[in-house]
Structure formats: structure tokens, C-alpha cells
């Protein structure tokens, strides 16, 4: 079990990351409304996945007790709405509170189904491989530094 202060701090970092991702997703929606393009559509889908992952992580960290405090997102509301007239449906990526996808399969997947090498190598890790991108996202930088310090061996060789 984690110290409550550490858990509170980790949850706050996750909330900051979620706010950044939601803001980025909204910018993608606005760009898409001005110029519908496949590249922007792909960026929107990637941002939606990251937002959903962060929402799930916050739910895990808080035990579901602080769901309504996650930057105004309410369960089952979808994540964010694209501008009217956009082709993208807000429900094309289920919110973590919906429980199952359109085929009726449960939303929870096993570890063997969770690995998509293209997704993890290209989207998640790209932030941590480019210091410039990492500097532009303070919450992600905080998570990265926390990971580095947690892996450091305090005893010198």
C-alpha cells in the first residue's frame, strides 16, 4: 500500500496530465472542424485513447471515489464532444464508465490483448524519447522524473 500523501500527489499528477490531454483533444477537434483531414482524425483518436487511459488510471488510483472531480468529466458522458458537423462520433471510443464496447465484450481486457506494439512504441513512448516534447508537458515530466528517482539505487557502488 502507498502512503496516502504519495497517492494523493500521484493522482494530482494524473489529473494534470488528463487536463493537458483534454485540452489537446479539444484543439484537435477545432483543427478538424476547420480542415477535416485523416491526419487530424488519427491525432484525435490517439488523444481519445490517452484520455481514456488516464481516466482509467485515475479511477484505479482513487478507487472510483473521486470520479466526478476529474476536471468536470462525468461518468458515461463520453469524453469531449467534437464540433457539430464533424464526422467523428464522440462515442466511437467508449468512456471507461460504459462497461463494454459495441459488440458486447467487456471493456476490461487481459494483458495478452493489451499489447499493440505500434501504439505503445509510437504514441506513449514518443513523449519520453523527445526531451523537447517532455519539457512542454510538466505533468508528464513529473511522472518521468518520479520514475527515474524511484528506480535509482540509493547505495553507491
pLDDT tens digit sequence for 57-100: 888 777 765 444 444 443 334 444 454 444 444 444 444 444 44
Phi, psi of 64 (to 5 degrees): 80, 0
Indicate if the pLDDT at residue 32 is higher than 60: yes
Q: Would residue 11 count as lying in a domain? A: yes
Q: Which residue has the higher pLDDT, 129 or 107?
A: 129
Q: Would residue 102 count as lying in a domain? A: no
Maximum average pLDDT range among 26-35, 71-80, 105-114, 130-139: 26-35
Indicate if the pLDDT at residue 35 is higher than 80: yes
Domain count, the chain: 2
Same domain, 37 and 73: yes
Q: Would residue 9 count as lying in a domain? A: yes
The length of the chain, given as a count of residues = 157
Q: What range does the domain containing 124 cover?
A: 119-149
* Integer Cα distance of 11 and 7 in angstroms: 6
Phi, psi of 3 (to 5 degrees): -60, 135
Same domain, 5 and 76: yes
Answer yes or no: pTM beyond 0.75: no
**Number of other CB atoms surrounding residue 126 within 10 Å:** 12
Per-residue confidence at 124, pLDDT binned at 50, 70, 90? low
Question: What's the mean pLDDT in 4-10?
Answer: 83
Indicate if the pLDDT at residue 120 is higher than 60: no
| DSSP alpha helix (H) spans, 35-137 | 38-62, 111-114, 117-119, 125-129, 131-135
**Number of other CB atoms surrounding residue 79 within 10 Å:** 20
* Percent of the chain scoring above 70 in pLDDT: 54
Longest dimension (CA), the chain: 62
Q: Would residue 157 count as lying in a domain? A: no
Amino acid at each position: 500500500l502507498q502512503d496516502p500523501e504519495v497517492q494523493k500527489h500521484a493522482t494530482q499528477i494524473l489529473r494534470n496530465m488528463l487536463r493537458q490531454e483534454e485540452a489537446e483533444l479539444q484543439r484537435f477537434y477545432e483543427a478538424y472542424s476547420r480542415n477535416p483531414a485523416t491526419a487530424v482524425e488519427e491525432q484525435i483518436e490517439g488523444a481519445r485513447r490517452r484520455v481514456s487511459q488516464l481516466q482509467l488510471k485515475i479511477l484505479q488510483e482513487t478507487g472510483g471515489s473521486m470520479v466526478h472531480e476529474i476536471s468536470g468529466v462525468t461518468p458515461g458522458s463520453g469524453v469531449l464532444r467534437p464540433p457539430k458537423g464533424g464526422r467523428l462520433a464522440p462515442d466511437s471510443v467508449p468512456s471507461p464508465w460504459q462497461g463494454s464496447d459495441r459488440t458486447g465484450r467487456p471493456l476490461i481486457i487481459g494483458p495478452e490483448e493489451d499489447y499493440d506494439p505500434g501504439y505503445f512504441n509510437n504514441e506513449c513512448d514518443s513523449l519520453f524519447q523527445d526531451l523537447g516534447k517532455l519539457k512542454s508537458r510538466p505533468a508528464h515530466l513529473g511522472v518521468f522524473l518520479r520514475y527515474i528517482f524511484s528506480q535509482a539505487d540509493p547505495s553507491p557502488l
